[in-house]
Each structure stands twice: as C-alpha cells, then as structure tokens.
C-alpha cells in the first residue's frame, strides 16, 4: 500500500469546471487557490477532481481527445494577463466583456503576445516543454490542427492520406499548419504551467491532488489516430467492438460508451509502453490516481460495434495482473485507487487486493440489502475510500428525497442521529468510518438537491455544468466540517 494512502485523510470531490468565477466554466485562476485555502482551513488534505483532458463538445471529461493533454478551457485568462502575454485593450482588460470572447480566441492572442513579449527564459522553457512532451505532443498538436481543418469529421472520415498517416502528407501538413500547431503546443505549455503551480500551492498547504484516469480513451482522439495497433480496430481503422457495461443499477439497457477496446496482445508485446507513458503524465499532475472502471482490467464488456445498446455484449478477459506488475516494476508502488463499482466478481476483488489497491465504498449503495452489504460502514476495511456518492450519483439530498419513509427509517436506525439531515448523517458516517480516506462531493457538503448533480449516466445532455457559489459556503458549514474532520482524526 502506498504511504500516501495509509493515513486517515478527508477529501472533497470537486471538478475544476465547478469552481465559481466570471468565465464560462471554472478554471485554474484565483478561485482554485481560494478553494485550496478553504480545504486547508477545514483540515481537509485531498482535492479529488475528474479527468483534466481536452473534451469533445459534450464536455464529458471521460471522452477526451488525448490521454495526455490538458483541457485549454481550464486555462486562466487572468494568469495570461499577469504574464503580459495577453494585453488589453487588445480586447480591453477593464472590459466586463472580456470573457464573452471564446477562450480559443484569447489563447491565440496570448500566443501572439508570447512570441512578441516573452523573455528568453520563458521561450526556452516553452521549447524545453515541447521537447520533453514530444512523444505525445507532436501527434496531438497535428491531430488538433487537422481536426480543426476537417471539423466536425472524426479522423476516420479524413482524406485517406491523413487518415492513414502517410509520412509525406503529415510532413506537408506540419509545414502548412505550423502556426496553428505551435499555438496548440503553447496552450498545453500554459495548461501544464498553471496546473503545476496550483499543485505546488496545494502541496505547500498540505493538500494532495487526486486525479482520475478513464480506463478507455475516445475513438476520436489523437491516441487512437496515432496508435491504431494499440486498439481493436479492423484494417480500415474502424472499431470492431466498443466498450460499455451491461444492464445495471444505472440503466436497464446497460451503457454503450462507444470507446474502442485495447488490443492487449500488442500492449503486452511492447511491455505496456503506452499505458506506462500515460500513467507517467498523470503522476506529474497528481499525487493520487483513481483508475476508472478498474474491473475492465480483469475483464471488459465488449459490445459488437453495430449494436445500439449494451445488452448484447460479452465479458472478455484482460491482462490486469501483467499490467499492474509492469506498473510496479517501472513506476514503483504508486498511490492508485481502484474504482471497483458495478458488477464485481471475486476475480476483480482478488486483482485489487493482490496489488493492495483501495476500493471504493459508496454510502448511497449501503442500505438496500442485508447486513452483509459491502457498502455498510460496519463492513469496511481501512484500505478503502469511503464516499457519500460520486459524480455519477444523484446528490445525497436528491437521492434521499426519493426514498420511502421505511428506507429513511432504516438509514437512521443504522446511523443514528435522526435529528440531522440524511446528507449530514452520511457525511458523519463516511468521516467516522475506518476507511483511510473519506471523500465527500461538494454538493453534499452544501446539502444541494438533484438539480445540482454533475452527471446522469446514460444521458447525453445537461451534464458536467454544475458550479458552486461561495455564498453557499457559510461560516457555519465550514466550522461544522472542520469540527468533523478533527473529531474523526482526519486533519492535516
């Protein structure tokens, strides 16, 4: 077990996009630093986010355009202004209308300002960044430039010479699109600088950053375009099978995610090089990592690509033991958390436990069955992460409002405290449990209803947009949270 995870800690789950502020979504500006201060003041030592990757139009962080690149939409415009690379009245700094400009326009202007006004130290830093990240950045920047040229087509609909990555065509594209490619690389440079500055500030205040790795990548991504042999594709580059999960708690027809499956045979032959590179990037960004859909490392649900739902799939074995062994050899005992939710078999549990990975315990799942329910606090082990709910659940208040009186009585009979709200009772139970780490979604800290949930699995609209406001974080809530963290010995 990693030393980081072998200590009692408390965390809050909040994605960067959910931070308040005047821009279209939360970003890496001052509000992120304000949130670190809030965590520090309450004794909370873990900030869990969702994946940071560049998203598609649906804004889902679980369908990224790259397993390495950060989302430019998270870049702070104020930071660019402070560097002197984005000047107003180029757009007008005093202007209340500054944030009405698309982020892409502001970032392009900042790149031009960087070329004109950055000192030699920053220019060398940018060049060094491009060199160090070239193993993924070169393909990503070219992919994004071509994607802009052929938008909204996926790469498999591009002209054949680009789709098939013919060397001469790519060389010519790099020449013709150089300015745009360099601007895309600059955006990644800025993202990584801003994130690492935030991470350093969090570390100085005793706060660890906890990230999330989607097990699968999007078909429409630089990874699949540049590494077709790593995925189960036919000779034309089309998906044969797609990822998802069978019918479960969230959906009667299962979830058809549409991601390509891994070609594990190729990955094993290369020593899992692609996976190790991916983890190395995320370890630069985070102190702790969660592997989303961990059970897919033991066996994954493969759905024929022509099927419209996830019902007619099958479980296909994956070499999780070999992969995790390769990770241990190459990277050591890194702080990994297994998202072991859904249809979990004894084989999945054995894989998790063999590598001493903490699993997840969700209190919203705890009260529907008997006393052997693994999500009941009395059944926890120390090597786990306790949650009231996750980004895929309804908020605890919204969930509780749909419970019968009998179900509510059952919860209070088990947890006690009938005078308190169910969100508060579950927070109390999570923090008071034996789990080394207890993480509470920000919505539950604020006792918010269903209209504030982050994601509803199986739906394509209305997700990933929730943001909190500082006026919701009252002194009374802050004091109460800090008292609970101290009471259950989870303080920094």
> Annotated active-site positions, please?
292, 339, 392
Please give the structure tokens belonging to residue 204.
Answer: 């100085």
Closest CA to 221 of 314, 130, 155: 155
Does residue 301 contact residue 216 with C-beta atoms inside 8 Å? no
Does residue 221 contact residue 66 with C-beta atoms inside 8 Å? yes
The C-alpha atoms of residue 283 and residue 285 are separated, in whole angstroms, by 5
The C-alpha atoms of residue 79 and residue 180 are separated, in whole angstroms, by 22
Contacts of 490 (CB under 8 A, 6+ apart): 8, 9, 10, 43, 44, 45, 431, 438
| For the chain, the helix, strand and coil percentages under 3-state DSSP, each to the nearest 5 | 45, 15, 40
Q: Rounded to whole angstroms, what are the CA distances from 394 to 233, 284, 314, 447, 472?
A: 36, 31, 29, 12, 19
Q: Rounded to whole angstroms, what are the CA distances from 428 to 413, 450, 479?
A: 14, 21, 14
Closest CA to 457 of 60, 44, 41, 14: 60
Cis peptide before 89 (omega within 30 of 0): yes
Q: What is the DSSP string of 87-136?
A: -TTSS-TT-TTGGGS-HHHHHHHHHHHHHHH--HHHHHHHHHHHHHTHHH
Please give the structure tokens belonging to residue 484.
Answer: 């609970």
| Residue found by looking up tokens 């303080």 in the block | 491
The C-alpha atoms of residue 126 and residue 123 are separated, in whole angstroms, by 5
**Residue 409: other Cβ atoms inside 10 A:** 12
Contacts of 369 (CB under 8 A, 6+ apart): none
Beta strand pairing status for 384-387 and 359-362? parallel
Q: 102 exposed, middle or buried (CB, 10 Å; 0-12, 13-18, 19+)?
A: exposed
Please give the structure tokens belonging to residue 15.
Answer: 């994605």
Biggest CA–CA distance in the chain, Å, is 72
């Amino acid at each position: 077990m990693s030393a980081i995870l072998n200590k009692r800690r408390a965390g809050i789950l909040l994605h960067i996009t959910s931070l308040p502020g005047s821009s279209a979504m939360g970003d890496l500006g001052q509000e992120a630093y304000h949130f670190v201060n809030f965590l520090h003041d309450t004794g909370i030592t873990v900030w869990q986010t969702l994946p940071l990757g560049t998203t598609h139009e649906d804004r889902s962080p679980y369908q990224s355009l790259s397993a390495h690149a950060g989302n430019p939409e998270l870049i702070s415009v104020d930071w660019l202004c402070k560097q002197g690379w984005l000047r107003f009245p180029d757009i007008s700094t005093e202007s209340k209308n500054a944030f009405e400009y698309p982020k892409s326009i502001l970032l392009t202007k900042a790149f031009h300002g960087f070329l004109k006004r950055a000192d030699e130290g920053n220019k060398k830093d940018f060049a060094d960044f491009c060199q160090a990240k070239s193993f993924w950045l070169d393909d990503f920047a070219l992919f994004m430039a071509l994607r802009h040229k052929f938008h909204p087509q996926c790469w498999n609909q591009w002209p054949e010479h680009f789709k098939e990555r013919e060397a001469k065509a790519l060389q010519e594209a790099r020449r013709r699109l150089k300015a745009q490619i360099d601007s895309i690389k600059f955006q990644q440079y800025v993202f990584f600088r801003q994130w690492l500055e935030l991470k350093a500030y969090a570390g100085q205040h005793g706060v660890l950053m906890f990230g999330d790795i989607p097990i699968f990548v999007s078909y429409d991504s630089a990874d699949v375009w540049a590494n077709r042999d790593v995925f189960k594709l036919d000779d034309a580059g089309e998906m044969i099978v797609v990822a998802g999960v069978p019918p479960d708690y969230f959906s009667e027809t299962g979830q058809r995610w549409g991601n390509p499956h891994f070609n594990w045979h190729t990955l094993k032959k290369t020593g899992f090089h692609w996976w190790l590179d991916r983890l190395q990037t995320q370890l630069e960004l985070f102190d702790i990592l969660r592997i989303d859909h961990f059970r897919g490392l033991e066996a994954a649900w493969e759905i024929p690509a022509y099927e419209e739902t996830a019902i007619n799939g099958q479980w296909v074995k994956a070499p999780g033991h070999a992969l995790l062994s390769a990770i241990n050899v190459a990277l050591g005992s890194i702080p990994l958390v297994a998202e072991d939710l859904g249809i979990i078999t004894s084989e999945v549990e054995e894989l998790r436990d063999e590598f001493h990975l903490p699993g997840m315990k969700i209190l919203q799942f705890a009260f529907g069955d008997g006393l052997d329910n693994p999500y009941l606090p009395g059944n926890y082990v120390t090597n786990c992460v306790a949650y009231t709910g996750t980004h895929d659940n309804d908020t605890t208040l919204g969930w509780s409002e749909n419970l019968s009186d009998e179900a509510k009585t059952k919860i209070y009979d088990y947890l006690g405290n009938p005078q308190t709200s169910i969100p508060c009772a579950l927070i109390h139970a999570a923090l008071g449990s034996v789990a080394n780490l207890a993480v509470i979604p920000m919505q539950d800290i604020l006792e918010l209803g269903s209209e504030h949930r982050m994601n509803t699995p199986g739906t394509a609209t209305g997700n990933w947009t929730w943001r909190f406001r500082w006026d919701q974080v009252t002194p009374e809530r802050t004091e109460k949270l800090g008292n609970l963290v101290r009471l259950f010995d989870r303080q920094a």
